[in-house]
Amino acid sequence: MSASNTHNQQNVRQTTEESLKSFKVLSQFASENNIGLNVTVATSFGCPFEGIIPQNLIMKILDTLLLHNINRITLADTTGMANPKQVYTLTKSVADEWRNFEFGCHFHNTRGMGMANILAGMEAGIRIYDSSIGGIGGCPFAPGATGNVCTEDVVHMLEEMGVKTSIDLDTLIAASHKFKEILGHDLPGQVAKAGKSSRKYPVPN
């Protein structure tokens, strides 16, 4: 669901309020069938049609969602509008308000701030992030929307910082190269192109 009414209507043909009401039914069905329910709140950091989404609205939406049996909620920057200061402010407020609940974040690199936004979220205490191999993805009806943060770039950054991910980066880079072959075009990820920063090169003659 989207925090923005306009985006939600474009995406699922419902208002935000209608989507919130539907979670009562979804939550009941999930509980009865032993299904873990995760919710993503799109446009949590801004909407290309409505602009900035007020933080108090996000908090109100989360408060309503948490009335139901939900495992995890992901705050999504669906079209890459977020900046690190904004991310830290919202995620810190969320993490402080609901200390025992698991939140995640979903960032797009539309304006080149995806990786910085992850660091801001980590500083606030968020530990779970969506990403995509090669940085593919986007939003089909949002003007200028580009892909998600690139998985191999995120893993490389974290490992270089000493944050253990338990992900084999070499295998991940190989998968990205294979993915490029399958799709038949260049991908926006950087580490697959440049190699790991620990790589050493021969001195030119």
Q: Could you count the other beta carbons within 10 Å of the beta carbon of residue 13?
A: 8
Q: Which of 18, 25, 31, 21 minimizes the C-alpha distance to 69?
A: 31
116 class by beta-carbon count within 10 Å (0-12 exposed, 13-18 middle, 19+ buried): middle
- Of 47, 105, 139, 150, the active-site residue reads 139
DSSP, collapsed to helix, strand or coil, labels residue 163 as coil
For residue 169, the tally of other CB atoms under 10 A from its CB is 18
160 touches 195 (CB < 8 A): no
- Would residue 105 show up in a list of annotated catalytic residues for this protein? no
Nearest to 87 by CA among 49, 52, 38, 138: 52
In angstroms, rounded to a whole number, what is the distance separating the alpha carbons of residues 1 and 41? Answer: 5
Cα–Cα distance measured from residue 69 to residue 155, given in angstroms and rounded to the nearest whole number: 31
Distance CA 204, CA 194 (A): 17
3-class secondary-structure state, position 92: helix
- Give me the active site residues, please: 139
